[in-house]
Amino acid sequence: MKYNIRGTTLQVADIELDEGESVYTEAGGMAWMSPNIDMETNTMGGIMKGLGRMFAGESLFMATYTCNKGTGMISFANEFPGKIIPMELNEGENIIAQRDAFMCAESTVGMEMHFRKKLGAGLFGGEGFIMQRLSGPGTAFIEIAGEITKYTLKGGQMLKVDPGYIGMFEPSVEFDVTRVKGVKNIFFGGEGLFLATLKGPGDVWLQSMPLSNLAGRLNRYMPKG
């Protein structure tokens, strides 16, 4: 499989498949493709795994696209302004991504719901409670909203982040959500009730435009009826 990411704020992933190679995506995720690509829709692992994917922001049914002869081409487009990150995962290698970050992947890549271990803060922290775990081998394509800032945290190094800005991180990074301290900070700080703590070692990808923030801004201009 070969691929090319093009564009700036609304990117496209062009994927070239040889005969017999496959990629899968959520239902309705494909933009365009060559005529020698076959499509098959199923729950990929059964209803329970499909329901798990729904909680992680994806669809119950997934679509698998396979090249039936020669060399085929299939393209996937960003659903929102941002970046597409290709992650080439080795056997047994994992990555944790925000809810609804998955775009598409080779058929060998596993995708499942990822729960935080500490449910209390996660339940009230909103974003960050239910995430996605992608496992290799194979290449997966992740959608991140806005621009990307990548940090490589050393062992014990910490970063406090509004949970909505977390796009993706390695499993070696410890992730927790805690309540903001101080009554004035809670009611007048304007940063929400919760902050996420990321503790290294490992890589962290932050996004500059959480979709919840964008939706809130746009809602101000929507007609009320």
pLDDT band at 194 (very low <50, low <70, confident <90, very high): confident
pLDDT at 3: 97
Nearest to 98 by CA among 4, 161, 43: 161
pLDDT at 174: 92
Report the alpha-carbon distance of residue 47 to residue 91 in Å, rounded: 26
Residues 6+ apart with CB under 8 A from 219: none
Report the alpha-carbon distance of residue 96 to residue 3 in Å, rounded: 22
Q: What is the mean pLDDT of residues 141-163?
A: 94
Higher pLDDT, 41 or 157: 157
Report the alpha-carbon distance of residue 100 to residue 210 in Å, rounded: 12
pLDDT at 100: 83
Q: What is the mean pLDDT of residues 176-202?
A: 67
Is 60 domain-assigned? yes
pLDDT at 119: 47
Full domain range(s) for residue 36: 2-218
Is 225 domain-assigned? no
pLDDT at 18: 97
Q: Running DSSP on this structure, what letter comes out for residue 119?
A: H
Higher pLDDT, 225 or 210: 210
Cβ neighbours of 54 (radius 10 Å): 14
Residues 6+ apart with CB under 8 A from 214: 80, 145
Q: Running DSSP on this structure, what letter comes out for residue 21?
A: -
pLDDT at 58: 55
Nearest to 82 by CA among 151, 143, 162: 143
pLDDT at 83: 95
Backbone angles phi, psi at 112, to 5 degrees: -145, 170
Backbone angles phi, psi at 222, to 5 degrees: -80, 140
Count: domains in the chain: 1
pLDDT at 187: 47
CA-to-CA separations, 67 to 27, 75, 106, in angstroms, rounded: 18, 13, 12
pLDDT at 145: 93
- Tokens linked to 84: 């597409």
Is 195 domain-assigned? yes
pLDDT above 90 for 149:
yes
Is 190 domain-assigned? yes
Tell me if 5 sits within 8 A of 12, measured CB to CB: yes
pLDDT band at 221 (very low <50, low <70, confident <90, very high): confident
pLDDT band at 150 (very low <50, low <70, confident <90, very high): very high
pLDDT at 49: 59
Is 224 domain-assigned? no
| 77-136 tens-digit pLDDT | 998 899 999 999 999 999 999 888 999 999 999 988 876 655 444 444 444 467 889 999
Is 223 domain-assigned? no
Q: Report the CATH number that the domain containing residue 53 is assigned in CATH.
A: 3.60.160.10
Is 26 domain-assigned? yes
